[in-house]
Amino acid sequence: MRVSGQDRPLGHLPLAEGEVLTVAYTHSIDGLPIEEDLLVEDGRLVVDATRLHQFGAGMGQIPGEGTGRADGQWWVVDGLDRDIGTEMVLRVGSAEVDHRLRVPGAEVELSPCLAGEPVTVEPARISVLRSWLGSIPRPEC
């Protein structure tokens, strides 16, 4: 996944086919954690699931979309299959919102240095050789 700031590339996060990119943050009104899982399908980002602690302002299950279920302290709505296109532009929230991007084995905190800025996340293929050589910068904040 290529991660870019408003006027500069920030780096790449490794994401193999079938793996999940999670956008994690704290709801700005009710202060509870939310996680949204995205998959890459045919070069497009697709929201697969949302996890939340309780329904809050603008959050919850939309009738006819996905399947809701309890999972410990989380309410999970999965099977959303919501295509959001070839890129996701995220306006990074304040330190209290604590926006993070997570892939298997890595997490990048965005809020400490990018609060208020747009960040673009998009699928990008990287050559195996370049990956092995370690020449792919990881986003850092």
User: What percent of the chain lies above the pLDDT cut of 70?
Assistant: 82
pLDDT band at 66 (very low <50, low <70, confident <90, very high): confident
| All residues at 6 or more sequence positions from 90 whose CB lies less than 8 Å from its CB, including other chains | 23, 99, 110, 118, 119, 120, 121
Q: Who wins on pLDDT, 140 or 13?
A: 13
Question: What is the structure's pLDDT at 58?
Answer: 53
| All residues at 6 or more sequence positions from 69 whose CB lies less than 8 Å from its CB, including other chains | 75, 76, 78
> Would the pLDDT of 56 be above 60?
no
Question: What is the structure's pLDDT at 68?
Answer: 84
Spell out the domain ranges in the chain. 2-133
Q: Who wins on pLDDT, 93 or 130?
A: 93
**pLDDT digits 0-9 by tens, 95-124:** 999 999 999 999 999 999 999 999 999 999
